[in-house]
Chain A
Amino acid sequence: MKMALFKSFFARQMLSTHQAVLSTIRTQSSNLKPDPDAPVEMENPFKKELKQCILCKLNIDPDYKNYRLLSQFQSPYTGRIYPRHITGLCKRKQMQVEQEITKAQDFAYMPYTYKHKIFLKDPKLFDPENPVRSHRF
């Protein structure tokens, strides 16, 4: 019983002294310089880079005269245009590429059913075996 009383008394004493110390700090803080250890406001350093498709990143507009670039979006086996989930382009650029390829085929710049043999060893922009989204076939 005696011990408990002593404990409670001691705790009160401690608390009151602590509050007194705090109040003194608060009154002084307005006069002091900013604390160097205080958190600094900054942009999120873990923010990821904005994803862009390859044509938007390099600022390329597909054109039917540049049939070498367009043939990179064509299957070497069938000459058909690879869809968006394989090429990894945004909707707008994919639409432009498809329009320009059909135009180039109509103007006899590009073949319909195969890829020209001199373009077969061009660097690959994407891998048809590993599409962005899975194949439905």
Chain B
Amino acid sequence: MPTYELALLLRNMPKPELKTSLKRISHAIFDCGGIIRNIENLGFRPMPYKSTAHGMTHKEANYFIFKIDTPTKAVIDLKEEYKRDVDIVRQRFFKVKEEERKACTLEEELLPPAYREDVQKMIQIGKTQVNRFTYKFKYNSGLDYYPFQK
């Protein structure tokens, strides 16, 4: 099962209600055969822009992050279910990718253009193509007329 991260914004409500809605959200994950690895509460804070959900305009929200493992097929159902949930202002799923470490390439990027690999590649491609700035029609090409408009 792939690892997903679920960023949720819940509307402003008293604590016991928040508890029940969080329970509801996590039970939906368990029902579709998923597991929860971690729940992070980033607190109640003003949103950078207001957003509308279920006919209400929200300027503040409770920020939560769920780290979950679910089957890929279940994600669509979960999204559909959370869309109908009145307490959820905004929900975003995304897949967590493990990025491998690579050496910094800044040294090569700061070289003069003629020494850079990508520029050299571009020059090689340019050599195989017709240069339209210096190309001239050859009148001795077998045609006895100039085939294009002048």
Q: Which residues of A contact B (CB under 8 A)?
A: 50-53, 56-57, 61, 65, 88-93, 96, 103, 105-112, 116, 132
Contact = CB atoms under 8 A, between A and B. Distances in A.
Contact of A50 (B51, B92, B94, B107): B107
A39 B47 CA distance: 68
21 contacts: A52-B106, A56-B104, A88-B106, A89-B106, A90-B104, A90-B105, A90-B109, A92-B105, A93-B104, A96-B99, A106-B92, A107-B7, A107-B9, A108-B9, A108-B47, A108-B49, A108-B61, A109-B48, A111-B49, A112-B49, A132-B110
A108 B51 contact: yes
Task: Determine the interface band of chain B, counting residues with CB < 8 A from chain A.
Answer: 20 to 34
A91 B105 contact: yes
By Cβ-Cβ distance, the 7 closest A-B pairs, closest first, are A111-B48, A56-B104, A90-B106, A52-B104, A107-B7, A51-B107, A53-B106
A54 to B, nearest CB: 10
A107 B104 contact: no
Given A103-B94, A111-B48, A111-B49, 14 more contacts: A52-B104, A52-B107, A53-B106, A56-B103, A56-B104, A61-B99, A65-B42, A88-B106, A91-B105, A91-B109, A92-B102, A92-B105, A108-B61, A116-B48
Interface in B94-141: 94, 99, 102-107, 109-110
Q: Is the interface of A mostly helix, strand, loop or mixed?
A: loop
Contacts of A93: 104
